[in-house]
Amino acid sequence: MPSSVLRLVLLAGVVGLPTVAVAAPARPVVVAYQTGPDPVEVAIANGALARAVGRPVTFRKFNSGADIFAAIASGDVQVGYVGSSPFAAAASRGLDIKAFYVSSISGTDEALVVRNGSNIAGPADLKGKRLAAAPVSTDHYQLLATLKQNNIAEKDATVLALAQPEIVAAWHRGDLDGAFVWDPALRELKKTGTVLLTSKQVAERGAPTFNAWVATAALVKEDPAFLTAFAGEVARENASFLTDKAAWDPQSDNVKAIAKLLGGTPETQAAGLADLNLLPAAAQASEAWLGGGDKGGVARILKDTAGFLKEQRKITAVRDDYNAFVTAAFVAPLSN
């Protein structure tokens, strides 16, 4: 107990003054981010995000959205950056979370890389090959979708669900013919492999994905001001990236900060950022994304993804709609 508070309590006991209740500090919000580069990681690295939200924050790095949802389910994480496939799986199982900002949509930052010399010239050549993706990730979803789009049954290829570090290790051992990955695994595999398809191309063929910031329903109810400020800071960094390319080149302080946070070099992190397909703030609350109720884009993609995952026996049930797992409340001010 601080000495000033102790003196006040002692004085109250001596002279009969009422004791003063000392409010407990707000508990830190644990925010989970991933290994790929994203503009908001600058605000994580330089403290701008923590300052903006006005509440103690602890940041933790994870290898996948599935790992983040496991941490949310255990109560260890309250806000996380996740892909639409693990999001659909978690929502289908009833985890009480809400997407409040769509950061990026299918782009070239995630891709199916095939090993040079594997005799894979096109998607049809994936039959009989050994392939991998992180379990229940957007990459796993799009890898399975690619097989389906090319009339290849999952049993007609070996599809391994491996964490990204395990994919890189298996690749270096020569155990894989291809893998659907994001950075830093993506840049590592491209050293001895070739991009067969990007996430954007798979999306255009009927399997769209997105990456979003989600929060627990408890935090949404408890501290909406926190999430409004959080969304505003994400929008600010994304807007800077979209409008001021010079501020995000390999020589910039922004990219150097991301490289320090994630590892790698400024050059590789700048290249990874260039592959992102960021969703502008003005589009966030539209029916195409977080708005529109059960007709909104995010809710529809979640339901379609859940349907595919059920078909692939990755989950057991699909909800009637996924609107309960989406909110546009915190991006509405950004869309005006």
Task: Note the pLDDT tens digit of each residue in 196-252.
Answer: 999 999 999 999 999 999 999 999 999 999 999 999 999 999 999 999 999 999 999
| Residue 90 near residue 69 (C-beta atoms within 8 A) | yes
d(CA 235, CA 229): 10
Q: What is the mean pLDDT of the chain?
A: 91
Q: What is the band of 336 on the pLDDT scale with cuts at 50, 70, 90? A: low
pLDDT score, position 154: 84
d(CA 87, CA 66): 8
The answer, yes or no, to whether residue 26 has pLDDT greater than 80, is no
Residue spans per domain, the chain: 29-106+210-335, 110-204
Q: What is the largest CA-CA distance in the chain?
A: 88
pLDDT score, position 4: 40
* CA angle 26–231–50, rounded 5-degree value: 40
Tell me the whole-structure pTM to 2 decimals. Answer: 0.86
Q: Which sign, positive or negative, has the C-alpha torsion 279, 165, 178, 316? A: negative
Q: Is there a shared CATH topology between the 29-106+210-335 domain and the 110-204 domain?
A: yes
The answer, yes or no, to whether residue 314 has pLDDT greater than 70, is yes
Composition of the chain by helix, strand, coil, percent to 5: 50, 15, 35
Calculate mean pLDDT across residues 301-314. 92
pLDDT score, position 18: 44
Q: What is the pLDDT of residues 121-146, one digit of tens each?
A: 999 999 999 999 998 899 999 999 99
% of the chain exceeding 70 in pLDDT: 92
CATH number for the 110-204 domain, one of 3.90.1150.10, 3.40.50.10860, 3.20.20.140, 3.40.190.10?
3.40.190.10
Strands (E), 67-151: 79-83, 97-105, 110-115, 130-133
pLDDT score, position 58: 97
% of the chain exceeding 90 in pLDDT: 86
Helices 138-149 and 297-311 cross at an angle (nearest 10°) of: 70
Residue 326 DSSP label:
B
CATH of region 29-106+210-335:
3.40.190.10
Secondary structure class of 329 (helix, strand, coil): coil
Joined together, the tokens standing for residue 135 give 């379990």
Residue 26 DSSP label:
P
Nearest to 63 by CA among 86, 103, 34, 37: 34
Joined together, the tokens standing for residue 295 give 């007709």
